[in-house]
Homo-oligomer: A and B are copies of this chain.
Amino acid sequence: MATPASQQRTRLTDLATQAGVSTATVSRVLNGKPGVSPAARQAVLEALDLLGYERPERLRMRSQGLVGLVVPELTNPVFPLFAQVVESILAENGYTPLLCAQEAGGTTEDQYVEVLLDHKVDGIVFISGLHADTTADLARYHALRSQNIPLVLVNGHAEEIDAPSISCDDVAALDLAFRHLVQLGHRRIGLAIGPDRFTPTQRKVRGFLDAYARHLGEGEAEDHVVTTLFTVEGGQVAAAELIESGHTAIICGSDLMALGAVRAARQRGLSVPDDISVVGYDDSPLIAFTDPPLTTVRQPVRSMSQSAVSALISQIAGQPAPRSEMLFLPELVVRGSTSVAPSS
């Protein structure tokens, strides 16, 4: 179908504006001409997609192969975020990502892995998978490695598995959150966290206990840790218990738990942050729009994903990948859910 010249011009202009390049560059990319930097080419592709135009046939690349990406669920918005970022980096590298998202009662990690193997994936990235569960049998991962399947493990280091491992530094995260609350004058600080058989939970608890000892002296720090589930309801239950026992500040194991903690405070007629300060974990998408906007510890999702994909691609290329865990530093994003401790 021929496009009138005027429409063609509008489209070039739109694309150039969106991509931040000249119309000449857009035209070169669309016509497959040389002399365009990879960054400009990628910007034009993104602009085509963002504005919803179809890519011309000649801009399509043949996939280098399949990579499985296993995430535990999509309810916590940090997992769709990881999925989207890892997928786009895989695609930039010519791999087609297949996202395996679990849900309670649905397809399990093992079932997904079986399917991925049946379909000869080139490698698998596990995000918060069973490798993070200290009670899970690691034989499943040893079996994959003995078949020479390249793996990368994100957020849940298991020393025994022969694979690169990438995590957000949970101990550092807890120290960031704790220090922020102490500086605001809080002394009754609690931790609301999910099941303790997961490595990230154990590390966050350790970080909390370390920070407690460092900032508030010895004491019975364990009394300030309440273990429930990593959900809104889990946060609500844990926070209720911490508020009842006189805490003025609650650090949560996930942003969802933090939203539950805000709800628990309000149910008791308390204000966040005037009466109770709440810190989340993840900095999930949209969390800046909550009431109040959540102070939270941001996982560096993009750099973690970049390293995960690099480590996987090295292995696929037959190069050795680092075996020691790569720890990524989180940052504290201060918004409206934390404030100075109430003077009691």
List residues of A whose CB falls within 8 A of some B CB.
Answer: 42, 45-47, 49-52, 54-55, 60-61, 63, 66, 73-75, 77, 79-81, 83-84, 87-88, 90-92, 96-108, 110-112, 114-115, 119, 130, 133, 135-137, 195, 197-198, 229, 259, 262, 285-286, 289-293
Contact = CB atoms under 8 A, between A and B. Distances in A.
Given A74-B83, A80-B101, A84-B103, 7 more contacts: A46-B104, A49-B104, A54-B137, A63-B111, A63-B115, A91-B103, A98-B99
Contacts of A42: 105
A228 to B, nearest CB: 11
Contacts of A195: 51-52
Contacts of A111: 60-61, 63, 96
Contacts of A63: 107, 111, 114-115
Nearest to A263: B289
Given A52-B133, A55-B108, A111-B63, A289 B84 contact: no
Contact of A103 (B52, B73, B87, B135): B87
Contacts of A136: 54
A83 B102 CA distance: 10
Contact of A77 (B96, B97, B103, B286): B286
A297 to B, nearest CB: 18
Nearest to A290: B289
A106 B59 CA distance: 12
Chain B CB within 10 A, most for which of A73, A100, A108, A135: A108
A123 B286 CA distance: 33
29 contacts: A45-B104, A45-B105, A46-B104, A46-B105, A49-B104, A50-B104, A52-B197, A54-B130, A54-B137, A63-B107, A63-B115, A74-B80, A74-B81, A75-B285, A77-B80, A80-B80, A80-B101, A84-B103, A87-B103, A87-B107, A88-B106, A91-B105, A92-B106, A96-B112, A98-B98, A98-B115, A262-B289, A286-B290, A291-B291
